[in-house]
């Protein structure tokens, strides 16, 4: 049993893989947070522009006059 514990302590590849996994997870969370924030800001900006142009967000353009 003691031999198994010593062998486990010497083995570093599992620890390295876990560290890389944690780093990748943290980077993914940062990217998701940034994209979510940017998306919300862009949506607000486009809604502001649409309101200033005379159409509210989610409204359709009036039908065109064919004649």
Report how far Cα 19 is from the mean position of its chain's Cα atoms.
21
pLDDT value for 57 = 54
pLDDT value for 15 = 75
DSSP 1: -
In degrees and rounded to multiples of 5, residue 31 shows phi and psi of -65, -45
Residue bearing the bigger pLDDT, 59 or 16: 16
Entry pTM: 0.51
pLDDT value for 30 = 96
pLDDT, one tens digit per residue, over 12-56 is 667 788 889 999 999 999 999 999 999 888 999 999 999 999 865
51 near 57, Cβ under 8 Å? Answer: yes
Q: How confident is the model at residue 67 (pLDDT cuts 50, 70, 90)?
A: low
């Amino acid at each position: 049993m003691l031999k198994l514990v010593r062998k486990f302590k010497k083995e570093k590849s599992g620890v390295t893989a876990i560290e890389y996994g944690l780093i990748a997870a943290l980077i993914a969370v940062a990217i998701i947070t940034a994209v979510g924030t940017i998306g919300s800001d862009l949506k607000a900006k486009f809604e502001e522009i649409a309101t200033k142009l005379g159409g509210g967000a989610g409204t359709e353009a009036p039908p065109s006059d064919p004649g």
